[in-house]
Structure 1
Amino acid sequence: MKKRTQKVTALVLGTAAAVVTGTALAQGTTFLTIGSGSTTGVYFPVATGMAKMINDAGSGLRANARSTGGSVFNMNALATGELDAAVAQNDVVYYAYKGTGLDAFKGKANNKIRTMAVLYPEVLHVIARKDAGINSIADLKGKKVVIGDLGSGTEQTAAQVMDAYGLKFDDLGQALRVSPSQGISLMQDKRADALFYTVGVGASAIAQIAQTVDVKLVPVAGNQAASLIKKYPFYVRYNVSANSYRGIGATVPSVAVQATLVTTTALSEDAVYKAMKAAFGEEKDLKAIHPALANNFSYAKAVQGLPAPLHPGAVKFFKEMGVNVK
């Protein structure tokens, strides 16, 4: 990879990039811009935490986390070089790598995508107002439903899950394509009956809705869940435990994809290895970043269900950790 000593993408958390000349910057420093997602989700604190660990390691890497539109944006930004690494759903990464699945990637396979680590399950949350009369995905027909940002991983998941129940977006009373933060406002103002959000359990957006609105989690289970997993093998079953959010008093079955840290072959083996060593070298420190990691991450799981090949720098790191990788 070209070392960014002449031109560096400098990012302040949650702001747009500003390109600056690197005359005053230390020679030999590699700068990493890590794409995340909405500030109300889990990607952002996870990416921010990993960036801090990379910076604190003092290994010649400087990292910044950037709030973005999420998985689809991140994969496109990796392709253009706007991002150096990103957190994204494993299904979206797979589509980008193969050039299939989503209109954003069809015919544009990016075979330079490489996986650094699988992080944690991203659970499909279907949150409904208790006063909306929604007890099943099938009950969404005719309702006002937040389905995620246009082109987002959540929108794709919503379409696939609804299809398993025989529904299309056209069957909704209104399909609301907005950000999670906008979705919260719509739910609070009774302008939305339900909200789809694919995110780690404990996400602040879901907790905020549950604190301010009487809500229920709508299950994804039974034959519909089985057919979904058969058709899309990157899904797994996942039970959201009781009391994960205010007012959720019982375990609710759902499905999940996997949050995955990815990069491209443009990032050198040495840079990826150093980033991995800094962010993943002490498992307990990584898990301290967020409950989604604390409750789910392990070195063994980090190399399972890979949507694209492991980066050589990640292979080197995991071998040092005693993980059987190629």
Structure 2
Amino acid sequence: MKRVTTALLLGTAAVALAQGNTFLTIGSGATTGVYFPVATGMAKLINDAGAGVRANARSTGGSVFNVNALATGELDAAVAQNDIVYYAYKGTGIQAFQGKANTKLRTMAVLYPEVLHVIARRDSGINSIADLRGKRVVIGDLGSGTEQTARQVLETYNLGFDDLGQALRVSPAQGVSLMQDKRADALFYTVGVGASAISQIAQTVDVRVVPVGGNQAASLLKKYPFYVRFNIPARSYKGVGATVPSVAVQATLVTTTALSEDTVYRAMKASMGNQAALEALHPSLGAFTYEKAVKGLPAPLHPGAVKFFREKGVNVR
């Protein structure tokens, strides 16, 4: 595959090569999100299977970074929002991909819904997205899918980043600290329900989950068909006593045509062949099914994924 620069990865890669294995680096996201434990868990399943593929999960800045790193060969596979993957595949949507279509992107599987969480301190006076005007708001790390989601949601309320008091582009971990220290009033985070970063804020700060619903949600879904309505269940986090309407995209495992059909097939069989083991990696995967895994694809299925899903009885091309 490629030369890996860190000592840890060099050691792992050396073992893999010595055993005749293919070595994969899987891009995830912040360690406080859901991408990281999911990717780490999948890498462990691959390694434990002894199927001729060795894998390592790497913490990254998120979806946009991951897709760009797939294009350069820095990553072999990655978890990313389906809308971001689509924009990259088509070379449209956001400036980072404009006119740079990466037609070599391929989908391995749709994994789980990624829900927009808008978390506000109760003492901030924020009850709706419109109330974010003039406030200090964490909009996600630079190059993350959350940043793009925040921009699109604010747009439906006739707001932009310039309308905020401060648009704070920081990692989820830094966002948690800013919320705890009263240096941020609210935080956007597109992540699976139950993410540790959101739980940490709710455990240490009196917060509310700001709804995204009504006409604004309808407008968002009409303009950006990747979104679906999603209700954050009551008691998902401390202090959240009622269901909160929001929207979601989909976390998707993607790769490129650089990986062979056999490598992708063996990696998927090892990490997804046992559905119960996959679901046990994180609560967000609790509703995973092989049928759902091929719905809402942002790029064509990789031939190795086609082979895997056909073996599972799913009708794919």
If the length of structure 2 is used for normalisation, what is the TM-score?
0.97
Q: For residue 151 of structure 1, report the CA deviation from its aligned partner.
A: 2.2
2:137 corresponds to which letter in structure 1?
V
Q: Is residue 10–residue 20 contact of structure 1 (8 Å, CA) maintained in 2?
A: no
Aligned residues: 317
Cα distance in 2 for partners of 1:21, 1:308 equals 29
Cα deviations by residue, 1:120-161 (Å, 9 ceiling, x for unpaired): 000000000001111110000011000011221101100000
**Alpha carbons of structure 1 residues 315 and 20: separation in structure 2 relative to 1, 3 Å:** closer
Q: For residue 113 of structure 1, report the CA deviation from its aligned partner.
A: 0.3
Q: Is residue 35–residue 66 contact of structure 1 (8 Å, CA) maintained in 2?
A: yes
**Alpha carbons of structure 1 residues 20 and 121: separation in structure 2 relative to 1, 3 Å:** closer
1:314 alignment partner, one of 285, 299, 305: 305
Q: For residue 26 of structure 1, report the CA deviation from its aligned partner.
A: 1.8
1:177 corresponds to which letter in structure 2?
R
Instruction: Show the counterpart of 2:283.
Output: 291
Cα distance in 1 for partners of 2:20, 2:143 equals 37
Q: Is residue 149–residue 179 contact of structure 1 (8 Å, CA) maintained in 2?
A: yes
Q: Is residue 63–residue 143 contact of structure 2 (8 Å, CA) maintained in 1?
A: no
Instruction: Show the counterpart of 2:294.
Output: 303
1:25 corresponds to which letter in structure 2?
L
Instruction: Show the counterpart of 2:51.
Output: 59
If the length of structure 1 is used for normalisation, what is the TM-score?
0.94
Relative to its length, the structure with more helix (as a share) is 2
Q: Is residue 16–residue 54 contact of structure 2 (8 Å, CA) maintained in 1?
A: no
Q: For residue 101 of structure 1, report the CA deviation from its aligned partner.
A: 1.1
CA RMSD of aligned residues (A): 1.7
> Within 5 A, what are the aligned runs for 1:76-155?
76-155=68-147
Please give the secondary structure, in 2, of the residue aligned with 1:25.
Answer: helix
User: Runs of 5+ in structure 1 lacking a partner?
Assistant: none
Instruction: Show the counterpart of 1:265.
Output: 257
Please give the secondary structure, in 1, of the residue aligned with 2:97.
Answer: coil
1:233 alignment partner, one of 220, 225, 249: 225
Question: Percent of pairs identical after alignment?
Answer: 79
Matched, 1:219 2:187: no
2:179 corresponds to which letter in structure 1?
M
Instruction: Show the counterpart of 1:323.
Output: 314
Instruction: Show the counterpart of 1:9.
Output: 4
1:70 alignment partner, one of 50, 54, 62: 62
